[in-house]
Amino acid sequence: MPSRLSAAVGLLLSAGTAVAADMPDLRSLPPAPWSWSGLYFGAHIGGGLGATSFSDAAGAAIYGGEVRTPAGLAGLQLGYNWQMPNTRWVVSVEADVAATNGNGTNTCLASSGAFISANCRVRQDALASLTGRVGFAAGPVGHTLFYAKGGAAFLAERLDIAANNPLISSAVLNNDKVGWTVGAGIEQALAPAWSVKMEYGYAGLGSSTMATPASFRFVDPVVGYVPTAPGSTHVSQNAHLVRVGLNMKFGGDAYARWDGLDDYHLRGSQQAGDSTLRGEIEIGGRVWYSSGRFQKDLGNTANQGSQNVLISRLTYQSTAASGEVFGRVDGTSNLFLKGFAGGGSLFSGKMNDEDWIADDGIPYSNTLSNPIKSSIGYATVDVGYALWRGDGFKVGGFVGYNYYQENKSAYGCIQQAGAAALVCVPSIPNATLGITEDDKWHSVRLGINGVVTLAPGLKLTADAAYLPYVSFSGVDNHLLRTDVANTKSTESGTGQGVQLEAILAYAVTPAFSVGAGGRYWAMWATAAANTNIFGSSCPCQTLPARTERYGGFLEASYKFNGLK
């Protein structure tokens, strides 16, 4: 998967570099009559969040039943635009295909604490769609296309259902799904042959039936466990997808350019007649309100190839408020440097601790700790090159680094399922600290950044980054455990991830802007994922870990222009 994503991004960046190497002055040519009509091809990167629901014929789930599948994606598109004569309306047909690396797990078939429930895992490999588009070409000369789209969607994936410890029974389904998709986006013409797009899509991927494995139910201490027969589950799926892409017209002149002022220009940018691209510095601050989810799965073996059968899972959900500073420097040579750093506090949340230890008389236990407190801290720095840059747009690729730290403290404990296990009976008051989790994530970023002016003073910025390498390390501390000599467990792993961001800003003055945006981060460590549980020596138990953080922010910034 990393090689496929890297290849797609490489194609996108190399195509832009070829034309950027001999790029003429953006102000040297007058505007020319132009139409969106024509055959085009391109590449895109982005990310998505899928949801897969597993029904249970035995009854409503006590917990779980839905698997979240965050993913990075990269792919290609091919389409045809037709702009109706003497109008601003554009109709299109487009086909796209993308490699994806979705990999999520959650509890399923947990209708009773007396039943050895299962671990459901979803791994997605490829997405495709065939859609029609209807758009309107806005702006003084129609270079900004607002569009809606809809059509068919296709998904290739693998589903696994494994009965948990100490069983080995499982069911597997290699699944190809056909469904529907709708979405909307903005495409900005950068030059007669080139355009950049930013779009959101929703895919409804229908439903299918899948076999479920045999398991056991605990009757009482005298009878013990009795077997249960295999059955079936109804699987339904959907996905939210965000893409940033670059398109080129077939037969277009890759070196042709427009005057930078033929469309909206960035407020405060250089004026007409000044043919020198000047540098600028923008600095500002943000307040980010976010939600997060951290999940780790403790396997019943040390075999990295078998992460499906679990002994325990801890899932933290939290909300946070943080402040950050950010900045961007655009040089005169089209190089740019951008980044941000911030931190804040977790002020609410909960943690579910699940256990499957049938040989200790615990078929399934689920306890709830509430509240979750502590802090988050993060920083990102990227260096990139603007392949296209004018008064109304900046589009380029970048490489960078992201650091994310999250400390979580879980208070109290009540039994949610499996009361016979007596894990939290009697309950522990919510003023008592029970478990802490301190995690650090280091990531390499590879992505695309685009800035386009939608109307005078109104600017849209989009950032899509694939994380080809993620390193995770953590320390779990079960402070109330008295049956172990060491209450701390060290954790580590490597993996991948995706980070997406979009900002809509308005220039109140040529220098001062305010804006609002959204951000989604997802990182997962499923390779070499281990824990030295309670200080035990290796071979370590498997511990794949996954984290997400997402939310909206407000920002204000100040820009310094005219740097030479």
Global pTM value: 0.89
**Confidence check: pLDDT of 364 > 90:** yes
Domain for residue 285, yes or no? no
Domain for residue 307, yes or no? yes
Domain for residue 213, yes or no? yes
Instruction: Give pLDDT tens digits for 16-42.
Output: 344 344 333 333 333 445 799 999 999
**Confidence check: pLDDT of 340 > 60:** yes
Of the ranges 30-34, 97-101, 255-259, 527-531, which one carries the lowest mean pLDDT score?
Answer: 30-34
Return d(Cα 41, Cα 248) in angstroms, integer: 6
Mean pLDDT of the chain: 88
Domain for residue 405, yes or no? yes
pLDDT band for position 500 (cuts 50, 70, 90): very high
**Confidence check: pLDDT of 332 > 90:** no
Total H helices, total E strands in the chain: 1, 22
Phi/psi region, residue 161 (left: phi>0; alpha: psi -120 to 50; beta: rest), is beta
Which residues, listed in sequence order, are joined to residue 45 by a DSSP beta bridge? 74, 244
Q: What confidence score (pLDDT) does residue 28 get? A: 38
Q: What is the mean pLDDT of residues 409-434?
A: 89
Tokens of 82: 């037709």
Q: What confidence score (pLDDT) does residue 20 get? A: 41
Of the ranges 35-44, 70-79, 215-224, which one carries the lowest mean pLDDT score?
Answer: 215-224
Percent of the chain residues past pLDDT 70, beyond the cut: 89
Nearest by Cα to 469 from 489, 496, 448, 446: 496
pLDDT band for position 194 (cuts 50, 70, 90): very high
Of the ranges 14-18, 105-109, 232-236, 252-256, which one carries the lowest mean pLDDT score?
Answer: 14-18
Return d(Cα 491, Cα 423) in angstroms, integer: 23
Domain with 500, as residue range(s), is 2-10+36-266+302-559
Number of domains into which the chain is organized? 1
Q: What confidence score (pLDDT) does residue 18 get? A: 40
**Confidence check: pLDDT of 252 > 90:** no
Domain for residue 133, yes or no? yes
Cβ of 420: how many Cβ atoms within 10 Å?
Answer: 16
**Confidence check: pLDDT of 81 > 50:** yes
**Which residues have a Cβ under 8 Å from the Cβ of 147 and sit 6 or more positions away?**
90, 92, 133, 134, 135, 136, 184, 185, 186, 187
Return d(Cα 250, Cα 194) in angstroms, integer: 10
Nearest by Cα to 463 from 559, 391, 397: 397
Q: What confidence score (pLDDT) does residue 175 get? A: 80
Q: What is the mean pLDDT of residues 42-60?
A: 94
Q: What confidence score (pLDDT) does residue 12 get? A: 36
Return d(Cα 554, Cα 284) in angstroms, integer: 11
Domain for residue 21, yes or no? no
Instruction: Give pLDDT tens digits for 111-161.
Output: 999 999 999 999 999 999 999 999 999 988 899 999 999 999 999 999 999
Instruction: Give pLDDT tens digits for 165-177.
Output: 877 777 787 888 9
Q: What is the mean pLDDT of residues 471-490?
A: 95
Domain for residue 352, yes or no? yes
Return d(Cα 350, Cα 477) in angstroms, integer: 16
Q: What is the mean pLDDT of residues 522-526?
A: 97
Domain for residue 540, yes or no? yes
Instruction: Give pLDDT tens digits for 527-547.
Output: 999 999 998 888 789 999 999
Q: What confidence score (pLDDT) does residue 268 get? A: 32
Q: What is the mean pLDDT of residues 310-327?
A: 97
CATH number, position 169 = 2.40.128.90
Instruction: Give pLDDT tens digits for 385-403.
Output: 999 887 788 999 999 999 9
